[in-house]
Amino acid sequence: MFITTSIATVVINRLLLKNTFGAIIKMRELYNVEKKKIQWSSLVFTIEVLSLAVKSIFAVLFNLWI
């Protein structure tokens, strides 16, 4: 039981880390391409960051529950 929860925790943490780096790269691209314009891409980026925050909250709750 402990081994499976450890593996699940590692997988969740890797996914969160990958999503975080992807969001940072997207943020840099948006900042470099469009410094003063507000476009749909920035709205999509905001939604992705919010979804990342929700995922991380669920991961923390999942780790506490286990």
pLDDT band at 65 (very low <50, low <70, confident <90, very high): low
pTM of the model: 0.38
Terminus-to-terminus CA distance in the chain, angstroms? 10
Q: How does pLDDT run across 13-36, given as a tens digit for each residue?
A: 676 666 666 766 676 666 666 555
CA angle at 30 for the pair 28 and 36, rounded to the nearest 5°? 120
In the chain, pLDDT over 90 holds for what percent of residues? 0
Q: Are 36 and 61 in contact (CB under 8 A)?
A: no
Q: Are 26 and 45 in contact (CB under 8 A)?
A: yes
> How is the chain split into domains, by residue range?
2-65
Beta strands of the chain (E only): which ranges?
A: none
Separation CA 51–CA 12 (nearest Å): 14
Where is average pLDDT lowest: 7-16, 34-43, 53-62? Answer: 34-43
